[in-house]
Structure 1
């Protein structure tokens, strides 16, 4: 069955010429958007679940279309048919050009109305610029086909074709339909508050007989990317037995197990393995007896990007298997562990050869999910690890992760600090008798990072967002007041994580009203960082932001962890040169209340000194 027929069993070609009777049996997009609006204004999750279940019971003949709309933003890549494993390729610019052409208005005028939600922006424009008619012809299947068409357009003239496709839908949209169509196409949340688990419960409530197959469906989803809607479709077509055929198999990405945050005291309950928590790239390696395929935690295929790892794994493994591990990068000259960002460069096609000259890559493997044609995740970790060490021969690229068995909290903590000193994030404590829980975050794996650093910094500039973050601040630049001076010194890093849309919009508005075009005279900042700033603000006018980071690092291309050999101090040797100091995993948690003072350069230097002293004690 083709993907097109799977999504729309009745075949959308009939839509344009179907009889009035046939149209009356089609699911209208207006019916779905009405449900979305009701969900958005309902707080209770139980009420949401009941509303969806009732809707589904009345629309069984269109169940797969409904599933597509619900799941497209949440799990668009969960179809068994990987024909759909791609994005629509519609940028905000392309979409706005289509709106501009359709409504004959200037794009700049549309941008002025944007307040953080393109769906609402377009809806308001439709409300003011189009007749408020109720569409009786726009069906869900037309929306589905439009999205499928958008994924297929490429090459010369594709942007114009995408615009025409979008216009063909917009011309039949009511304002509410335009709002949700916009959200679907641009990849943002539908903002209904209905998450995937809630929707699944609604399906099970609407089709109670399906409950007996739920565990099989969930397993197939996590091991073979079975979409819940396809399971419903098979159920309605009396082909539910097809689910049992979807078992774990090399070449099909598996949802990986994840660790919970916790405390070292967990080791007192049972024997645990302490493994290093790496600042790397999670990777699952599949070998089917003939070829190796590499998938990321996000289930993306990276075999071509990491071809040397694939070749090395093929040489090291003896049996068909699926292995879980992490890619690490090291500086070839110094042997220092490099952060995650370096591995991202390693995956980029155009950076690959250049990066390979200075970077050594290792694949540290720590678990075995599949062996000799069988799913072995139910075996205890100690057995899985034992088999793994039997069937894999280590090499310069393929290595086993560090593993220490302990039931002593003090020993576990010392090992975690040892990992930290060697440049890693911390440790993961794993119950030696625990199964591998596919796609689950569980306390049988406990991750521990020794310390985080909280600091209050002054905003001195921002970088404007693009794409979905247009009209927001996507990254902030911060500084700290120099003691006994009116000067400020910036960190050697821009911070783009942790901010809510509300904060990003608020900071953009502040910089638009108070911003200046040049770096304030009393701010010291690294030249390469200054080039990234779109708008500056005098630190006296900038708000104090709450910044959190896992640790400090030396500002180089690789962000090497600080140590005694590379401490960047000022000429008076009393404090550190913050322009040469970066942060590992920095997050901006929010804007501090009015009157809150920022940490001084000396106070931040004390934090750096504390980190070094902690590592030197180990």
Structure 2
């Protein structure tokens, strides 16, 4: 398939904000796409080269990309930066620059979707001495063959900033429409596989029957089931009738897979951290059966029997070197609370049955790998749930989880079957998309951050607040350096950055505001912590902000 056809599709999608129109456009395109190419096209429609749970990443920042654009177009990096400021986006800037180039030269046009995708994939595997030079050569190879409109979307894809409003929900609906399969069947297939490309391919080649055969599989992570906030312990128990209440641990939520002889550990953002926590893998090996399984739990820092700071756990799971030293310095405990697969998928089983299975197969190691503390609470003994909450807080944990014992496990869904109740007010997880440098002595630091939430319909990021308080000087410096690396545009003291750093924000109130694209703003926002354990898919949605808004 010629890449220009995909670029034209992107252009159509960008020209409308209507969900149904986008769905129709994508459905028509998927119908015409060769079956074997559907996984690739679906990924590229999401603006990705690799699935969210893949360990691979392109490793291309704006500066390296601008260098490649400079070589291909003849424009200086300063001219490229000026064009980006003018256009507000590296894609549009590339289109303008490539139009100027095309007036001077004529290049044959052999670019295909397969070539663009395969060449971009190669970038992830280039490491070591001379890596940057080799990556530049690949970028030049692709861009030198690109027309202006192709350059627009290739550059955006490289920086994972496609911005055409084709989110997972729209693509899922488009698959349903294209191949005339019920939405719920498509959604369930995606829920179980976490792979829209596979779903599209099977939908076209095998239809509904093929999708029904797709299932959970150890080694391929699925999105975690998410919790809503409970207004109170009493109201939650009364609504459910009975609940299984558990201590809510403040660590990194993990999904642990055993596939044959291999144990893999994924974070909530489906990042593979197996190499960073070898002691956890050894304990899982001892404590759980030598059979395929998927279990879920929370890893916390355990310092003399008390939970350590959340930032300590990030030091562990992000660590790539000197792991053995860190094992001693930052000891970890794993608490398991759910099981999704054992001798077959279990997600349709009630939670109380899944818990029984988990309890039957684990051999706990005190202080190393344990079951989450849990008790059954009904309307008759609500005080026991309140006592568990108080004990959990006293021990340094976040609060409690309140779970429906009869609920199935629903990947990626935030519902009332699983609730959380914390000591602190609710917070929002928002992504940094821009910032402002300080003045005077702080002119070298980015002290104010522009934050965005995710549009549920399109997946687009829409502004919701500026935050400038809550960070100590050390974290402020570190964050400034990180933001410099992903800066896309700089204009005076203001910058725009690639959206990848997620911040947990506390606030006093949500108010309606025309100042921000989301239509909402936060009063007195404060940074609670940087959430390197979350991905863009975990950023809170505008719908969630609406649900928390109290007129």
TM over 0.5: yes
Structure 2 CA distance, aligned partners of 1:495 and 1:177? 37
Asked if 2 retains the 8 angstrom alpha-carbon contact of 1:102 and 1:167, the reply is yes
Q: CA deviation at 1:162?
A: 2.2
Change (3 A) 1:64 1:77: closer
Structure 1 CA distance, aligned partners of 2:121 and 2:446? 32
Structure 2 CA distance, aligned partners of 1:463 and 1:48? 41
User: What SS class does the counterpart of residue 374 from structure 1 fall into?
Assistant: coil
Query: Are residue 36 (structure 1) and residue 6 (structure 2) matched?
Result: no
Asked if 2 retains the 8 angstrom alpha-carbon contact of 1:330 and 1:338, the reply is yes
User: What SS class does the counterpart of residue 369 from structure 1 fall into?
Assistant: strand
Asked if 2 retains the 8 angstrom alpha-carbon contact of 1:294 and 1:303, the reply is yes
Query: Are residue 141 (structure 1) and residue 141 (structure 2) matched?
Result: no
Considering Cα pairs closer than 8 Å and 6+ residues apart, tell me whether 1 or 2 has the greater RCO: 2
Alignment RMSD: 4.0
Structure 1 residues 79-158: aligned runs within 5 Å? 86-115=56-85, 117-131=89-103, 137-158=110-131
Structure 1 residues 168-207: aligned runs within 5 Å? 168-188=141-161, 190-207=162-179
Query: Are residue 314 (structure 1) and residue 314 (structure 2) matched?
Result: no
Query: Are residue 257 (structure 1) and residue 228 (structure 2) matched?
Result: no
Query: Are residue 401 (structure 1) and residue 383 (structure 2) matched?
Result: no
Query: Are residue 494 (structure 1) and residue 469 (structure 2) matched?
Result: no
Change (3 A) 1:316 1:46: same
Asked if 1 retains the 8 angstrom alpha-carbon contact of 2:43 and 2:51, the reply is no
Asked if 1 retains the 8 angstrom alpha-carbon contact of 2:467 and 2:525, the reply is no
Q: CA deviation at 1:391?
A: 1.8
Query: Are residue 281 (structure 1) and residue 252 (structure 2) matched?
Result: yes
User: What SS class does the counterpart of residue 494 from structure 1 fall into?
Assistant: helix
- Extract unaligned runs of 5+ from structure 2: 428-436, 452-465, 496-521, 530-539, 543-551
Asked if 1 retains the 8 angstrom alpha-carbon contact of 2:228 and 2:419, the reply is yes
Structure 2 CA distance, aligned partners of 1:176 and 1:205? 28
- For normalisation by structure 1, the TM-score amounts to 0.65
Structure 2 CA distance, aligned partners of 1:507 and 1:54? 35
Change (3 A) 1:38 1:298: same
Structure 2 CA distance, aligned partners of 1:506 and 1:229? 29
Deviations 1:45-100 (A, max 9, x none): 11111122233334457645532421352x83269xxxx75222323232222112
Structure 1 CA distance, aligned partners of 2:163 and 2:38? 21
Q: CA deviation at 1:187?
A: 2.1
Choose 177-186 or 89-98, whichever is displaced more: 89-98
Asked if 2 retains the 8 angstrom alpha-carbon contact of 1:224 and 1:252, the reply is yes
Structure 1 CA distance, aligned partners of 2:94 and 2:403? 50
- For normalisation by structure 2, the TM-score amounts to 0.72
Aligned to 1:607: none
Structure 1 residues 422-433: aligned runs within 5 Å? 422-433=395-406
- Extract unaligned runs of 5+ from structure 1: 1-26, 470-474, 480-488, 514-543, 552-586, 590-618
Asked if 1 retains the 8 angstrom alpha-carbon contact of 2:252 and 2:299, the reply is yes
Query: Are residue 267 (structure 1) and residue 254 (structure 2) matched?
Result: no
Structure 1 CA distance, aligned partners of 2:263 and 2:281? 6
Query: Are residue 328 (structure 1) and residue 300 (structure 2) matched?
Result: yes
